[in-house]
Amino acid sequence: MRPLMSRSLALCAVLCLGGCATTSPTAPAPEAPPPQAEQPRAQAPAEPPAPTSVPAAPLKRPEPLQLVVQANPASPIVSFRLVFHSGSVDDPKGKEGLTSLTADLLAEGGTQSLTSAQLLDVLFPMAAELSSSTDKEFTVFAGRVHKDHLPRFLDIFTDVLLKPRLSPQEFERLRARALSDVRNGLRSENDELLGKVALDALLFQGHPYAHFVGGTEKGLESITLEDVKAHAARVFTQDRLVIGLAGPVDEALQKTVVSRLSALPATGAPRVELPAVPTTGGRAVVVQKPTLSTAVSMGYVTPLRRGDPDFFPVALALSYLGEHRQSSGVLFNELREKRGLNYGDYAYAEHFIEQPGSTYNRTNIARTQQDITLWIRPVVPANGVFATRGTLYFLDRLVKQGIPADKFELSRGFLLGYTRLWEQTDQRRLGYAIDSLFYGTPGFLEQYRDALAKMTPESVHAAVRRQLRPEALNFAFVTQDAEALTKLLAQQPPSPITYASAKAPALLEEDKAIISWPLPIRPDAIQAVPAQSFMEK
């Protein structure tokens, strides 16, 4: 059953990808100051030395079956959110994709009393939602139903975990779909996702995060129904589960849900111990496939995550540089609006996966080790290197000059309002509350707004200087002519650009700096990979 279900595609041990871009006007578009416009500032604090690796500081562990309740008696809708601290890091070697496939089979494959088709037939007239999604460290089973249908839905929702059908036919169907997602969806259809997954695999090479959440081709082929049955008992256990309930939730419902889910195994497999991640910069992977454009993703692994005092100011700075799918960012205005290079240019202070049907990050994709990333896509191949250099140019200006005072106030005002949109549904509010348990950040969005009110351009610039490191970036490109792009990245000749319409003299003067801007890519650290052999094993 896949209606209303969001699944992550998954990848292999050497590389993978993703992204997106559309726009919706929001705040007024900030105009970048000219490069010479740097104003005198107070001396920035001395920068700490760059870390050589990012350790795995464990996330917090809530109590088994811990409840998160957001009661609203006036609402007619009951929302359920079961969040297991289990994800693709739990996939055994050689069976990559097992956690995602297991979650899909539980949520879609029917129960002991209902076939998969019957499950859909029962849910449809109730207008009920039942979905699963898997990421690196977390798997979510979400449900939503009108209170009039609560008793029947509660039976179904708990049965998918406690009494799943696990039929061979449904297993084969869903495994075939997962294989198609790798062979056809990731490799062939979605350049943006491919670039994102490739960057992920490059950054976390040799790490449990490295393979695609949906699996590798050989990994999925090796999985059996018996593997799924055993894995469910290993990772979907009481000690890994947080229960979220919202809407007209009374004490009786809370007790019923906890009582039923206490039938899950109390414990299962030991938690995966994540290794430190080397912060090696200057690497690039070029994925070759037939495509008319070039997708560019860049980023680096960072110890910065929610709960760090620098997280909020860096998040504001990167929102100013390029908030997801918003027209207010510097990169959007400089690369798309002024130069007409491409469609979307965005920057992220933590790993970003768009929630379907929104412009917001998904909740419950918390990660022990985070990454800062920038996306530029799609670009005409002839302008791919120029667009990459332009992104680095404006990132460098942010690090060296900070945010002008007037643009700072615009960005702060935008985020004070925009963060309220991130919590507009019960499912999202539950998601943020549950994430806060693992990060140790109670009232995270209120904390964010409180921090915004106290920030100054100087305090944000100091955090940016401490945390943003352009020299640490690694790069993933998806393009048709990998050989030509690899040569350009290695030799770094100037990348002049021509425009179909007249441009302002100031912009053309700025381009003179961009066309030769140094790329922090080492010639000996560039690899080209054909898409069709990607994520094979």
The answer to whether residue 245 sits within a structural domain is yes
Residue 212 lies in a domain: yes
pLDDT-wise least confident of 240-249, 444-453, 506-515, 525-534:
525-534
Report yes or no: 64 and 266 within 8 Å, Cβ to Cβ.
yes
Q: What mean pLDDT comes out for the span 289-307?
A: 96
Asked if residue 297 and residue 239 are part of one domain, the reply reads no
70, 218: one domain: yes
172 and 203, same domain (yes or no): yes
pTM summary value = 0.90
- Average pLDDT (315-332) is 96
Last residue of a domain, one of 261, 293, 317: 261
pLDDT in tens, 96-134: 999 999 999 999 999 999 999 999 999 999 999 999 999
Q: What are the backbone dihedrals phi and psi of residue 171, each rounded to the nearest 5 degrees, phi first?
A: -60, -50
Q: Are residues 329 and 401 in the same domain?
A: yes
The pLDDT of 404-420, averaged and rounded, is: 97
pLDDT of residue 11: 32
pLDDT tier at 43 (50, 70, 90 boundaries)?
A: very low
pLDDT-derived band of residue 535, with 50, 70 and 90 as boundaries? confident
Q: For residues 217 and 156, state if they share a domain.
A: yes
User: Is the domain of 205 the same as that of 142?
Assistant: yes
The count of structural domains within the chain is 2
29 domain-assigned: no
Question: DSSP assignment, residue 332?
Answer: I
Same domain for 123 and 235, yes or no, is: yes
How many residues does the structure list for the chain?
A: 537
Residue pLDDT, tens place only, 253-265 = 999 999 999 999 9
Long-range Cβ contact pairs of 400-405 (< 8 A, separation 24 or more): 400/38, 401/33, 401/37, 401/38, 401/39, 402/41, 402/457, 402/458, 402/460, 402/461, 402/464, 403/317, 403/320, 403/457, 403/460, 403/461, 404/33, 404/37, 404/39, 404/457, 405/457
In this model, does residue 32 exceed pLDDT 70?
no
What secondary structure does DSSP assign to 117-171, as a single string?
HHHHHHHHHHT-EEEEEE-SS-EEEEEEEEGGGHHHHHHHHHHHHHSB---HHHH
Instruction: Dig out the tokens for 297 from the structure.
Output: 């993703």
Where is pLDDT greater, at 458 or 535? 458
Please give the single-letter amino acid code of residue 197. V
Q: Are residues 188 and 326 in the same domain?
A: no
The percentage of the chain sitting over the pLDDT mark of 90, rounded to a whole number, equals 88
pLDDT band at 449 (very low <50, low <70, confident <90, very high): very high
List pLDDT tens digits, range 487-509.
999 999 999 999 999 999 999 99
Whether pLDDT at 226 is above 50: yes
The predicted model gives 464-474 an average pLDDT of: 97
Q: Residue 15 domain-assigned? A: no
pLDDT tier at 50 (50, 70, 90 boundaries)?
Answer: low
**CA separation for the pair 150, 252 (Å, rounded):** 13
Q: Which helix (H) or strand (E) holds 376?
A: strand 370-379
- 347 and 477 both lie in a single domain: yes
- Above 80 in pLDDT, residue 525? yes
Determine, yes or no, domain membership for 30. Answer: no
- Whether 315 maps to a domain, the answer reads yes
Looking at the predicted structure, is the pLDDT value of residue 24 above 60? no
Confidence of residue 52 (pLDDT cuts 50, 70, 90): confident
Segment 73-84, tens digit of pLDDT? 999 999 999 999
Give the residue numbers spanning the domain of 191.
66-261
Percent of the chain at pLDDT above 70? 91
Distance CA 405, CA 20 (A): 30
Per-residue pLDDT band at 48 (split at 50, 70, 90): low
CATH number at residue 421: 3.30.830.10
Same domain, 303 and 181: no
Q: Is the pLDDT of residue 16 over 70?
A: no
- Collapsing DSSP to helix, strand or coil, 395 comes out as helix
Is residue 291 located within the same domain as residue 409? yes
Q: What is the pLDDT of residue 537?
A: 76
Rounded mean pLDDT, 228-252: 98
Above 90 in pLDDT, residue 9? no
Closest CA to 162 of 99, 226, 232: 232
CA pair distance 82, 65, nearest whole angstrom: 9
Distance CA 482, CA 27 (A): 38
